[in-house]
Structure formats: structure tokens, C-alpha cells
């Protein structure tokens, strides 16, 4: 989509709840789900989209970042670049493993169970194999960046995902890395509302800090417990948000 007036009704001023960026993300995601935005469609520029929705550019920027992480949008740089609705799997199969996960209905309980199986072991191995300078530098840098991004929900979500990928890398097991990268769109979608809350973003940061310290101290037991707490904290938050957003019974 470029400047075609026929597409104007897709992006009109919207009623905003407490978290502006989340409202923008929900609105665009709904347009995609309803088929009003098709795979390959180009979105208006960030400035134009903010104008049409009557929101700030920062809220628009964060929403687009979240939708990109969720696998619904892709950003192309350079000539003819812009933000596009992700192509259908048959047209663009660069991430077949991710598409495989997205093509199945995966419950929160299943996702939590799989993550605990993978990430607790990855964390244990990271503390055993990558303690000291390597683990401290990599995880410490991510935590520091995350702290700088506390006021930016979309970027905070990106940092949250990066921390888990980095731990998998420190474990030395490439299968863990590939699996978590493939799960990233699912993980991003489940965390949008969590990262929208400033208090929860701060809590996630402190939990990451505790995990990073345990890994750097070569303390696998403490690292695993910190990670288990972190994963269950996220799951509880996601479940609570989902229950609050569920429609009332008829």
C-alpha cells in the first residue's frame, strides 16, 4: 500500500486505552486478521500512520516493532523499502521452522512446558560452560541495554527475547538457539501485553539481572532457579492478561 486513497478507511483515529502502543498494535493486527491488510501490502510511513490513527509517533514506532517481532510485519531497507505485511509462507519461506510453529495451535501451557524443558537446561549449561568474563560481558551488556530501553515497550520486548537467545548461545548447544529463534514470533505475541506495563518491564529486568549474576558466578543451581522463577512469572502475567481480555460469558 502506498498513498492509494481507497485504503484510507483502514487507518482512522482509534479509541485509546491506557497503553497507546498496544492499542495501535491490536488495531493493525486486527486489520491483518480480517483480511483488510493482505500479505505483501505496504503500510503507510510511520509518520503517516501516526497521523491517520491520531496517535504519537513513538506509540506507532513501538507498535510496529512489536508486530515485526511477532512475525506479522517485515521491514525492508533501501530502495522500495518500507514496512510490509509478512508474505504468506508459500510465497516467502525464509523461516520454515517458525512457520511450522505458527501453523499449529499451541497453548500457553504447552509453550511454558517446552520453554522450561529447553531453557532450564540451557541456563544450567551456560553457568557451567560460560561462567566468568564471557557470560558476564554478553548478558551484562543485554541487561544494561534493557535498562536503557525501559521506557520503550517494543524495544524492551526485543531485549527480553535477545537475553534468552544469548543464554542459549552460552550453553554451547546450537539446537537450543535454533529452537528459541523459531519460537520467537510466538514468544513475542504472548509477551506484548506484559511488556506494555512499566512495572512488569522493570520486574523482567531485575529477573534477568539475577540470572546473569548466577551464570557469571558459575552457580548452575542458582541460575536454574532464577530462570524457573522468571519463566513462571511471565506465564502467570500472560495468563492474567489473557483472562482480563477474554470476553465475558454469555
At 168 the pLDDT is: 94
Which pLDDT does position 16 carry in this prediction? Answer: 47
**Same structural domain for residues 139 and 106?**
yes
- Check whether residue 112 and residue 231 sit in a common domain: yes
Question: 59, 185 in Cβ contact below 8 A?
Answer: no
- pLDDT on residue 128: 92
* 116 in the same domain as 72: no
How many alpha carbons lie under 13 Å from residue 23 in its C-beta half-sphere? 17
- For residue 76, give the 3-state DSSP assignment: strand
208 found inside a domain: yes
Note whether 171 and 215 are within 8 A (CB): no
Instruction: Write down which residue in 59, 85, 111 finishes a domain.
Output: 85
For the question of whether the overall pTM of this predicted structure is more than 0.85, the answer is no
Q: Of 52, 85, 118, at which residue does a domain stop?
A: 85
Cell of 139: 548478558
Tell me if 164 is assigned to some domain. Answer: yes
Q: Where are the alpha helices (DSSP H) in 54-173?
A: 57-69, 96-102, 108-129, 133-148, 153-171
CATH of the domain at 25: 1.10.10.10
Task: Please report how the helices 174-196 and 108-129 are oriented relative to each other, as an axis angle in degrees rounded to 10.
Answer: 120
Task: State the DSSP code for 197.
Answer: S
Q: Can you tell me the distance from the alpha carbon of 165 to that of 212, in angstroms, rounded to the nearest whole number?
A: 13
Closest CA to 108 of 56, 45, 174, 183: 183
Whether residue 60 is contained in a domain is answered as yes
Contact 14, 54 (CB under 8 A): yes
**H or E, element range at 83:** strand 82-85
Same domain for 111 and 234? yes
Regarding whether 241 and 169 lie in a shared domain, the answer is: yes
Contact indicator for 126, 221 with CB cutoff of 8 Å: no
Residues in the chain where the model's pLDDT stays below 50: 1-3, 5, 16-17, 88-98, 103
Domain assignment present for 64: yes
3-state SS assignment for residue 201:
helix
Grid coordinates in use for 245? 481480555
Give me the domain span that covers residue 233: 96-245
pLDDT value of residue 90? 37
Same domain, 47 and 138: no
- Give yes or no: residues 68 and 108 share one domain: no
Are 180 and 156 contained in the same domain?
yes
Is residue 90 a part of any domain in this protein? Answer: no
91 in any annotated domain: no
Distance from C-alpha of 112 to C-alpha of 165, rounded to nearest angstrom: 16
- Same domain for 108 and 131, yes or no, is yes
Place of cell 483480511: 35
Instruction: Provide the domain count of the chain.
Output: 2
Is 110 found in the same domain as 224? yes
Last residue of a domain, one of 29, 62, 85: 85
Chain mean position to CA 42: 21
Q: Which residues contact 139 (CB under 8 A, 6 or more apart)?
A: 163, 166, 167, 170, 208, 211, 212, 215, 216
Q: What is the pLDDT of residues 45-60, one digit of tens each?
A: 999 999 999 999 988 9
Q: Is 70:185 a contact under the CB 8 Å cutoff?
A: yes
Amino acid at each position: 500500500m502506498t498513498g492509494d486513497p481507497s485504503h484510507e478507511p483502514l487507518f482512522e483515529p482509534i479509541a485509546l486505552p491506557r497503553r497507546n502502543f498496544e492499542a495501535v498494535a491490536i488495531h493493525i493486527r486486527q486489520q491483518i486478521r480480517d483480511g483488510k491488510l493482505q500479505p505483501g501490502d505496504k503500510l503507510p510511513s510511520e509518520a503517516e500512520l501516526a497521523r491517520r490513527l491520531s496517535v504519537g509517533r513513538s506509540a506507532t514506532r513501538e507498535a510496529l516493532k512489536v508486530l515485526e517481532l511477532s512475525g506479522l510485519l517485515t521491514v525492508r531497507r533501501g530502495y522500495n523499502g518500507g514496512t510490509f505485511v509478512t508474505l504468506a509462507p508459500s510465497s516467502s519461506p525464509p523461516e520454515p521452522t517458525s512457520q511450522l510453529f505458527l501453523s499449529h495451535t499451541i497453548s500457553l501451557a504447552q509453550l511454558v512446558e517446552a520453554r522450561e524443558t529447553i531453557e532450564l537446561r540451557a541456563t544450567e549449561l551456560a553457568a557451567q560452560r560460560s561462567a566468568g568474563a564471557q557470560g558476564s560481558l554478553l548478558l551484562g551488556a543485554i541487561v544494561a541495554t534493557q535498562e536503557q530501553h525501559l521506557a520503550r515497550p517494543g524495544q524492551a520486548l526485543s531485549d527480553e527475547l535477545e537475553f534468552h537467545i544469548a543464554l542459549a548461545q552460552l550453553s554451547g548447544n546450537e539446537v537450543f538457539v535454533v529452537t528459541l529463534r523459531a519460537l520467537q514470533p510466538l514468544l513475542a505475541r504472548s509477551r506484548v501485553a506484559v511488556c506494555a506495563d512499566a512495572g512488569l518491564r522493570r520486574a523482567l529486568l531485575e529477573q534477568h539481572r539475577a540470572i546473569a549474576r548466577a551464570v557469571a558466578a558459575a552457580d548452575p543451581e542458582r541460575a536454574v532457579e532464577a530462570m524457573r522463577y522468571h519463566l513462571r512469572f511471565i506465564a502467570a502475567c500472560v495468563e492474567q492478561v489473557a483472562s482480563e481480555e477474554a470476553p465475558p460469558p454469555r
